[in-house]
């Protein structure tokens, strides 16, 4: 479990957010301390200025609360809802200095998470009705993976493995260094903890045959056109029809214009690295007034 996936792990989330605040504040917020008198109270609204799917408001709230535990907060938009500008996402009130000092960290996370949720929703909508799921990948900025994964879920996507422990995923370099697909799968079965899923990335029909013969439970078809994916997927599903449950995934530079073609090829899921590695942040701002 990760800090955002396990509600009982608030201390881990707070530790991350405190690190982010320390990075941004440095020794002191010299601008706020110079211009805003102590004891000043402020109230304001967090406003979406671009169309987006909302994600990250609980995180933003916690950032503000770490510097002002008495902050008053009213969330106006639930996670996963699509909004059009100008949309008030939340209202807050509290110590002006604390709000200003924590503003950038709170908004950075909120903008990124809402951007990821928005892009995820576009992909989810593109494959609607096919039964295909949209997966994220480990292509995340170090330190931000828990937030990115929550945003993918808020956008309607599904999380792939969180870290290298959760699954054996045999990719091209593993295959070459192990001496082929069969040897890699056999070695994984012999040494990985019992019950660990084994997925094999394939790039040829020979790879597919070896993976199926070796008993791989998951097939990842990488960087192939939809026509090839459909053919190889049919082969894998024939093995499933023979009594072996096999999960088929497609990946490789997935784009909105083509992802439905891959979904219609029959795969169970499409993994999309761009959801997190090339996110375009939502436009969100904090508008304050004294009060």
In the chain, what are the domain boundaries? 10-118+279-290, 125-277
CATH 3.20.20.70 fits 125-277, yes or no: yes
Q: Which tens digit of pLDDT belongs to each residue from 151-160?
A: 999 999 999 9
Name the strand (E) or helix (H) holding 48.
Answer: strand 41-48
237 catalytic residue (yes or no)? no
Catalytic choice (24, 203, 222, 261):
222
Q: Which tens digit of pLDDT belongs to each residue from 13-28?
A: 999 999 999 999 999 9
Tokens, residue 192: 């990985």
Give the per-residue pLDDT at 5.
53
Give the per-residue pLDDT at 2.
46
* CATH class of the region 10-118+279-290: alpha beta
Q: What is the mean pLDDT of residues 153-180?
A: 95
The answer to whether the beta carbons of residues 55 and 156 sit under 8 Å apart is no
Give the per-residue pLDDT at 240.
77
Q: Which tens digit of pLDDT belongs to each residue from 110-131?
A: 999 999 999 999 999 999 999 9
Give the per-residue pLDDT at 215.
87
Q: Which tens digit of pLDDT belongs to each residue from 237-272?
A: 998 777 778 999 999 989 999 999 999 999 999 999
Give the per-residue pLDDT at 7.
45
153 catalytic residue (yes or no)? no
Q: Identify the residue with better confidence: 175 or 241.
A: 175
Distance CA 89, CA 48 (A): 7
Mean pLDDT lowest among 97-106, 165-174, 177-186, 241-250:
241-250
Predicted model pTM: 0.94
Per-residue confidence band for 78, with pLDDT thresholds at 50, 70 and 90: very high
**Percentage of the residues of the chain whose pLDDT score is greater than 70:** 97
217 catalytic residue (yes or no)? no
Q: Identify the residue with better confidence: 97 or 245.
A: 97
Catalytic choice (18, 91, 104, 237):
104
Beta strands at 41-48 and 284-290: parallel, antiparallel or unpaired = antiparallel
Q: What is the mean pLDDT of residues 6-18?
A: 80
- Classified as helix, coil or strand, 166 is coil
Sign of CA dihedral 223, 228, 229, 235: negative
Per-residue confidence band for 178, with pLDDT thresholds at 50, 70 and 90: very high
Give the per-residue pLDDT at 245.
82
Give the per-residue pLDDT at 1.
37
State the chain's mean pLDDT as an integer: 94
9 pLDDT higher than 80: no
192 pLDDT higher than 60: yes
Catalytic choice (91, 171, 189, 240):
171
Catalytic choice (103, 201, 207, 249):
201
Between the CA of residue 187 and those of 149, 206, 215, 216, 226, what are the distances in Å?
Answer: 30, 19, 12, 12, 31
Spell out the residues 6+ positions from residue 115 whose beta carbon is closer than 8 angstroms to its own: 52, 151, 279, 280, 281, 282
Give the per-residue pLDDT at 239.
85
83 pLDDT higher than 50: yes
């Amino acid at each position: 479990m990760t800090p955002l996936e396990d509600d009982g792990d608030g201390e881990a989330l707070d530790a991350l957010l405190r690190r982010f605040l320390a990075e941004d504040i440095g020794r002191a917020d010299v601008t706020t301390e110079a211009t805003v008198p102590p004891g000043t109270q402020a109230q304001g609204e967090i406003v979406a200025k671009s169309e987006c799917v909302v994600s990250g408001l609980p995180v933003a709230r916690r950032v503000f609360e770490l510097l002002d535990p008495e902050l008053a907060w009213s969330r106006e938009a639930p996670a996963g809802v699509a909004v059009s500008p100008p949309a008030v996402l939340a209202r807050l009130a509290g110590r002006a200095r604390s709000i200003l000092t924590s503003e950038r960290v709170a908004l950075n996370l909120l903008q990124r998470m809402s951007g990821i949720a928005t892009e995820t929703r576009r992909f989810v909508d593109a494959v609607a009705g096919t039964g295909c799921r949209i997966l994220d990948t480990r292509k995340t900025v170090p330190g931000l993976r828990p937030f990115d994964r929550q945003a993918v879920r808020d956008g309607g996507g599904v999380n792939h493995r969180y870290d290298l422990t959760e699954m054996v995923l045999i990719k091209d370099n593993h295959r070459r260094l192990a001496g082929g697909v069969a040897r890699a799968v056999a070695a994984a079965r012999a040494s990985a903890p019992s019950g660990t899923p084994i997925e094999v990335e394939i790039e040829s029909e020979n790879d597919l045959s070896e993976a199926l013969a070796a008993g791989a439970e998951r097939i990842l078809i990488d960087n192939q056109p939809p026509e090839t994916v459909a053919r190889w997927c049919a082969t894998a599903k024939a093995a499933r029809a023979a009594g072996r449950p096999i999960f088929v995934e497609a990946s490789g530079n997935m784009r909105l214009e083509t992802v439905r073609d891959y979904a219609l090829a029959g795969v169970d899921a499409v993994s999309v690295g761009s959801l997190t590695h090339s996110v375009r942040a939502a436009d969100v701002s904090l508008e304050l007034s004294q009060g």
